[in-house]
Structure formats: structure tokens, C-alpha cells
Structure 1
Amino acid sequence: MSAPTISLESLTSTTSLDQLLATAKSSGCTSSSCGASTKPDDMDSAIWAKIKDHPCYSEEAHHYFARMHVAVAPACNIQCNYCNRKYDCANESRPGVVSEKLTPDQALRKVIAVANEVPQLSVLGIAGPGDACYDWKKTKATFERIAREIHDIKLCISTNGLALPDHVAELVDMNVDHVTITINMVDPEIGAKIYPWIFYDNRRYTGIEAARILHERQMLGLEMLTARGILTKVNSVMIPGVNDEHLIEVNKWVKERGAFLHNVMPLISDPAHGTYYGLTGQRGPRALELKALQDRLEGGAKLMRHCRQCRADAVGLLGDDRGQEFTLDQIPGEITYDARKREAYREVVARERGDHVAAKSEAIEIVKAACGGSLHVAVATKGGGRINEHFGHAKEFQVYEASPKGITYVAHRKVEQYCRGGVGEEATLDGVIAALDGIDVVLCAKIGECPKNQLMEAGIRATDAYGYDYIETAIGALYAAKFGVELLAATA
């Protein structure tokens, strides 16, 4: 008898524990027996174990698993021209932004509350709003408290790297096996244009000397982490006219020193944020400029393309921040961790992931067989690897490219939600269409005739014919329909 169909659509915070446990039991799978086929053939099993449920280190995992950042480390030892940690807005998503700073004890309460209500949670990170290594006492105290209560959560930090070498041994002792370092340069002359000052060894340094010290400490920290088997992701901010071309060199340096991933992110420079770059008119890269640079980096350090440039208090799946649901005033003073919901979710998702990987492999073979040109597809999704979001409700679109090489995730495009209260806003739709520049097809669970027609006028086809299918399955069908027909016509 075949196993029942599992719907991840229902596995949200509204799912009761009894429902989730019943679904896991009926699926007949356990995390040790299902989904094993998802491991890439060319990946070491030990590495796979570290990344398979980590939404930042695995593009595939980000469809199923959530992260949480706790804002316990406000102090920082460098100044970046793209950063203003004082800015706070519940609707703004960018690094350094928080709604409330936490003590280690408050962080523990908040993590338990989220773990009890968000079954997808797999990773806890400290990403500021300052620097996790510089504000080390708070970072360490937080991790120690949480590790005692929740034994299976992955612990991560994000750092600028200046103080990192001083704490690598302690990171190893605490079983922190994922570290993100922001590295924007390997040439101090370029670094001096990005960093006005650093504070190191009880002194403030400026200019090229500051950038040189930062560079040396970043490289040392990266090498130390690699030697100890800690996976490292390098974040680089793409700043047009400052370091955009230089990031090719950065990619080479970090690959040589063992970085697992290189994440090139666009500069965010809205004047309203009060940053130096924002106030002086330094522009960020356009979406196609960012993609072009990422394409040039292929073959170097492995690229991460699904980053959302998260807030320092982000909660939930990438692209679906639920942090405002878990502010301190909404969390009970006394709270006890219940592992059952997360355990049940992992059992349910294991089978779904195995099915998804099989469907993805089949779709890639279809695309390779058609052997046509490139097709760029934007997908409205709420997770689970499926086309399951209404066009009008989407706050972002995930972008895929199908080509003779296969089907690859290349980016995401943030948009303002078009439909509110059942009514679409024309001005908002214009913004959505502008954000979809370069896209051939939009896939969504549902779309009205009006936005569909306006997209068509802009040269973008939109369809809900593949609603709730796996993303790659739909893309494979679209690609075969387009290039398979062309191929038959060419050979007739």
C-alpha cells in the first residue's frame, strides 16, 4: 500500500500538536529512514549532516526549515559605511535592524517560545545587531543557556571577523559548526572606502591601516575555522564602483582558505536608513547586475543565491519573517520547551524532501533533453518547494533559470504585496512588473485576469496552471513545451 500524500501546506503555526503527530505517524517514516536520497552524490556525509537542515547553507533546505536570530550582541568594533544599527523599523528587512534587544535569559525564553510554535525551526543564530564575537560574553551566555534546553538546534554566529580569532577555540567547545564572516575586500585600499574605522587591541584605527588589520584578522579567522572543521559562509556586500570588480579577487581568496559558501549581496542604501552610503547617494546594484557578477564567480567558491539579508531578530522561513509575532510582551514569563512538534515535523518533511528530490531530478533530465536556450521563471511560493502562493499575496518571487545545464535557483525579487483586502493596487502592480524585469514566466497558485493581462503587455507570461506542483516539475514542463516544440520544428 502506498504511503499517504503529505501536505506541508498545513504544517504551520496553526497546526495543533495532535494533528502534526498524527500526520507523522500516518506517513510511516522516520528521519533516519526517509529522505536519505537527498544527499548529493559528491558530498561528504559529515558535511551533509551539518547542512541538510540549515536554510542558509543549503538552498534545498531553505524550502523546509527556518532560522531564528536573537539580538543579544549590540556592541560593535568596526564602522561600515552601509550600516546604521540605530535604525529600527518593524517593516524593514536588512542586517542590523531589531525591534528589541535581549538579555541571554530573555533570549532563552524567546527561543523556547518559537521552538514550541514554529516546527520548521532548525537553526539559532546571533547576528548582532553589533558583532557576536566582539560582544562575546553575551553571545556565549546565550548559547550556553539554549544548548542546555534544546539539544538538537544548530548554533551559528555572524561576525565581521575582527575579534573572531580570539574565540575559535570556544566556538569549537560549544559545538558551533557554522560561522558567517562578512568580507568585503582583500585590498586595504578598497577597504578604506568601506570602513571609516575599527577598534582593535584597545585602539581606534582609521584608513588603510584599519582595513589592513581587519583583512589580516579575517583571513586568520577563516583559516582557523577551516582547520577545525567549522563550516564558513562568507558574506560580501556588492557596492557598485567600490568593490564590485574586486569581489572576484575576494572569491578566490576565500575559496583558497576553505570557505564553504560565498554569498554576494546587494548594497542596501536607502537615504532613510541614515547610513553614510545612503546619505551620499551611493547606489546599490540592479538585480541583473548582481546576477551578472554572480555568474562570473561560478567556478570559484560555491555561491549562495537565496540569501534574504535578514534582520538581526529574524524568525521563520527565509522570506517569511515572523519576528513580530514573538516580541517579549507576547511571551509568557514561565515557559517550558516541548520537543514533540519539531520532532514530528522533521519526520513528515523527510518523506516530502525525498519525493521533491526525485521530481527535481526528473525535471532536470527533461530540460537537458530539450537542449534549448535559457528560460527565466519567477515563482510565488510559501515554502515546501511548491508553487503555493497567490500572485497578489506574494511579497517576493523566487527566480529560477532553466538552461541546457539544468534548473538552478538564481535569486529572489522582493515586491510590495499587490492585493490587500481583495483589491489590487495599480501603482503597486507597476512596481511588481518593474521588479520582474528579465523574467519570462511567472508561476503562482492563483492570479486574476487583470494582473495577468498587464504582465502579458510587459512581455511576461503568468500562469496558475501549475498551482501546488513542485517548482522544478512546472519549470521542466514549461521548458519542454517551449524548446521541445522549437527543436521538433527545426528538425522537421
Structure 2
Amino acid sequence: MELSVIGQNEAEHAAASGCSSGSCGSSDDQLSHLPDDIREKVHNHPCYSEDAHHYFARMHVAVAPACNIQCHYCNRKYDCANESRPGVVSELMTPDQAVKKVKAVAATIPQMTVLGIAGPGDPLANPERTFDTFRQLSEQAPDIKLCVSTNGLALPDAVEELAKHNIDHVTITINCVDPEVGAKIYPWIYWNNKRIRGAKAAKILIERQQKGLEMLVERGILVKVNSVLIPGVNDEHLKEVSRIVKAKGAFLHNVMPLIAEAEHGTFFGVMGQRSPEPEELQDLQDACAGDMNMMRHCRQCRADAVGLLGEDRGDEFTMDKIETMEIDYEAAMVKRAAIHAAIKEELDEKAAKKARLASLSVPSHNGASARKYRPVLMAVATSGGGLINQHFGHAKEFLVYEASSEGVRFISHRKVDQFCVGNDTCGEKESALSGSIRSLKGCEAVLCSKIGYEPWGDLEAAGIQPNGEHAMEPIEEAVMAVYQEMIAAGQLDEDKPLMKANA
């Protein structure tokens, strides 16, 4: 494996990042050791802070149609309102239209704090459109964080311009640091007016990604690295990717599962490349966490996503609807500031509660030190706000948490079809319920605000215990309470490894 460029000065970059191994994290209580300016950049960014994603919204504007590389997992689509994955949009916009849309969303959804350009192509392969949008927004909406996501090929040439526009969050998709692995993912790149293929193309891309990462870190710009987990292609290799980008100063690593349904028309989908199982994704994230702070709450958003992570309100803000809106942006700015301050106060209180919860994770017995019990996965139905506040049948996704003797940690989200879908046929409801139960594989409990008799019985039969007793309670506190109830009931054996339910 040729790593001559990639391995240079790793120690210097690690020192420059200010993060020791495993010290920096995406949850606000894990950020307490960071300098105040860095914490301020992260605390209300839903893609960089695990806690923030329950409270703050983001939006993407689709102003960048062209791409300078081809990925086997990508198929950029237009007018695909029912698909939710990167590269998909319903309408392309000019920079002027994008600015108008951002202001409309900011006035309507005051929790929106972040504007990103992530496609449907590569933003830096469309520099005029991308930077025109950023330039206008930095002047007209200065309270909104500006972000960009890129494959990194054009990144070194754009770093100075990014810094000029005060863009302090950049995401780079890095799937490999070995050209031979890269040749299996990228059939070609377009660089210096030439189409280049195979390992040679991958080598150029890798070197440009790493150079761009180094340049961003040197300028104090926070870098999140996205990686797509492709079973049999880069699954084991991503541990090396994580180690290297951490050493070079990347702030956060987001390992995402490959989306490979054949109907999406990607090369991997058509050729039958499988997506990873939830256990595979979790195991790899845990393995990488020894070198890197992991993002686990990613939703692999559309290039025109609007709203909280896990929801999409894009249909409310099509250009024809925006043209009819009357927006007082100055008044909206005042309202936004008040709401942001209230959320920050709530997050500070939540962080304090988390600290107390961690110290009381598992009770001791008879004055002895706390015993260790195997960890348990629990699924949670929530509509936001960090609360258990959603009916089981209304959930389109479940958040999965792990409770253990060390406390509670977020693991992943799992998408499902809604079980309660109005007047749909019995067969469709049964299919949705069966799909939800399959999606909850490995979980031993599901916490929701309410649940019907039929799904309750089917969940119990599958080895998943329904629980509606903690409605409107904070998620982490409720998960730990259920874990303690399981201990008290003798359901967990001491010092035994996790025995996954419904395996």
C-alpha cells in the first residue's frame, strides 16, 4: 500500500488539533475540555454535536449540479421527492434563489442554524455558484453557520476562498487511503481537464483529499470526515482511514452504511453489492472510536434537505411557495436569537443531568462497589427534543441506545415504515410491523410514548420488550431507568457478554 504522502507529519497534525486519542467527541458533555471558541462552533451544529441534533435544524441548498468524480454508490437524481439519500434533489437553484430560500426557512424554522452545500454534485466542482451563495449569505444571514461537503478533489485550490467566507465546518468524504481500494470505489475522476481511471485516479484523489485536510486544519477550520462502509471493499480498511485522518487533525469521523438498493440505479446496487448489517456498522464504529471521535446520528441527507435530522420539510419550501411568502427577516432574527438562547440553556441543564446520571449509572449492592452487567440495546421512538414523545406506530425511525454499567450512549438510528398508516390494508400494516421488528434486531426493549395491543404482542414474541411507561421523559434518563429495572428484576447476568435478542 502506497502511503508516502498520507503518512507525513501525523504527529504534528495530532498536536495541532488539540485532541488526544478518544478525547474529543460529538456529544456536548464530551466537548467540555475544548477551547471556548471551538465549543461555540459545535454546540448548535446538528451534524457535529449529537445533543444538538435533537434541537437544531439544518438545510442544504442544491446549487452545485456538476461532479468531478464518479462513485459506484452514487446516482444523482432530480425530482425524486420520495427518496432520501445523498445526491437526490427535487429542484436545482441559482445562488439568488438559494439565498431567498434560506431566509424563508430561517424565518419559518427558527431552530435552523446551519446551511450546507452538499450537491447534488460536488460544491467545489461548481465554485462560482457555491461561493456566490456563501458570499450573499454571509452578508444577509450572518447568524447562520455555513458548511460545505466535498469529495476533496478540488479542495486544496478552494481552501483560501473557504476561509475568506468564514466557513469553519467542512466535510470531506474519504473512503480509502489505498489507491487499490479506491479503484474499486471510483471508476474515474476528472482532473486537469482529463478523465483519469483506475488506481492512478484514486491515488490523485487520495493525495488531494489529504492535502486539503491538512490545509483546513492549519487554518483552524473544523473537519468532519465521512466514509461509506462497503462490505468486502473497504470495511476493514476504514480503521486505517480513521487512524490517519485523526492524526492529521480531523475533528469527527462519520462512518455511514452503503445504500445499495437496486432501484436507485447505482453501480453497486445493480451489481448486487450488499449494504452492511447494523451490527457490522456498530462494530466498525466501535473499532474506529479508539482512534477517532465517531458521529453516529447521521441521516445521509438529501442535497436539498430541510429541518431536523430525521425529518424533511423540503415540500414546504419549494420556490413557487417561497415566492408567495412575506418575510420580515429582521423580526425573525430577534425571534431566532431568543429561541437559540433558550435551547442553549436547556442543553446546559441536560449536560449537568448527564453528568449526574453517569455517576449513578448502576446501583451498588449491600455497600459493595457497583457490579458490571452486560450492555443492552434499546430502541426509542422520538419526534425530537431529546424526549420519548412518539407513538410506536407513528415512528419513521428509531434511535438505538446502549445502556451499560458505564452509562448510556447513542449507537445509531434505524429507519422503518410507519405501522399506523390510516386506512391502509391489513396486509400493508402487517408488512410494516414485520419490517419494524426486523429493523430492531439486537434490541431488547423499545421505549415509546404509546403502543397498541397488536404490535405489543408481536414485539414480545420477537424478544423485544415494549415500554410505554416513560413518555415525555428525557431519553438517556429513561433508558438508564429501564436498564436498572432489568437489573433489579434479575434479567441481566453479571459479567456476561451481550447476548443479542431476536438474532
Identity in percent: 57
How far apart are the structure 1 equivalents of 2:160 and 2:212? Answer: 11
Verify the 8 A CA contact 1:64 1:349 in the aligned structure 2: yes
Q: Does 1:430 align with 2:434?
A: yes
Partner of 2:366: none
1:305 aligned counterpart, secondary structure = coil
| 1:345 positional shift | 1.3
Out of 221, 225, 228, the residue aligned to residue 219 of structure 2 is: 228
Q: How does 1:340-489 map to 2 (within 5 A)?
A: 340-369=334-363, 371-421=372-422, 425-486=429-490
Q: How does 1:116-127 map to 2 (within 5 A)?
A: 116-127=107-118
For residues 489 and 402 of structure 1, do their structure 2 counterparts lie closer, same or farther at Cα, with a shift above 3 Å needed? closer
Out of 291, 297, 306, the residue aligned to residue 282 of structure 2 is: 291
How far apart are the structure 2 equivalents of 1:86 and 1:412? Answer: 24
Out of 36, 39, 42, the residue aligned to residue 45 of structure 1 is: 36
Verify the 8 A CA contact 2:407 2:480 in the aligned structure 1: no
1:155 aligned counterpart, secondary structure = strand
Out of 230, 239, 250, the residue aligned to residue 239 of structure 1 is: 230
Gaps of 5+ in 1: 1-36
How far apart are the structure 1 equivalents of 2:279 and 2:29? Answer: 31
Q: Does 1:300 align with 2:296?
A: no
Partner of 1:17: none
What stretches of structure 1 move > 4 A for 4+ residues in a row?
333-336, 487-490
Verify the 8 A CA contact 2:374 2:492 in the aligned structure 1: no
Amino acid at match of 2:148: I
Partner of 1:130: 121
Partner of 2:77: 86
| 1:40 positional shift | 3.8
- Once structures 1 and 2 are overlaid, which stretch shifts more, 213-222 or 351-360? 351-360
How far apart are the structure 2 equivalents of 1:190 and 1:478? Answer: 44
Verify the 8 A CA contact 2:32 2:39 in the aligned structure 1: no
Amino acid at match of 1:55: P
Q: How many residues align?
A: 454
How far apart are the structure 2 equivalents of 1:232 and 1:221? Answer: 10
| 1:90 positional shift | 1.0
| 1:226 positional shift | 0.6
Gaps of 5+ in 2: 1-27, 364-369, 495-503
Out of 132, 156, 173, the residue aligned to residue 165 of structure 1 is: 156
Verify the 8 A CA contact 1:395 1:416 in the aligned structure 2: yes
| 1:335 positional shift | 4.3
| 1:246 positional shift | 0.6
| 1:359 positional shift | 2.7
Verify the 8 A CA contact 1:235 1:264 in the aligned structure 2: yes
How far apart are the structure 2 equivalents of 1:351 and 1:199? Answer: 48
2:88 aligned counterpart, secondary structure = coil
Q: What do residues 320-357 of structure 1 show as CA deviations (whole Å, max 9, x unaligned)? A: 11111111111126744231331221122123223322
How far apart are the structure 2 equivalents of 1:484 and 1:220? Answer: 54
For residues 368 and 166 of structure 1, do their structure 2 counterparts lie closer, same or farther at Cα, with a shift above 3 Å needed? farther
Partner of 2:303: 312
CA RMSD of aligned residues (A): 1.8
How far apart are the structure 2 equivalents of 1:487 and 1:84? Answer: 47
Verify the 8 A CA contact 2:29 2:351 in the aligned structure 1: yes
How far apart are the structure 1 equivalents of 2:342 and 2:395? Answer: 26
Q: Does 1:106 align with 2:110?
A: no
How far apart are the structure 2 equivalents of 1:173 and 1:294? Answer: 34
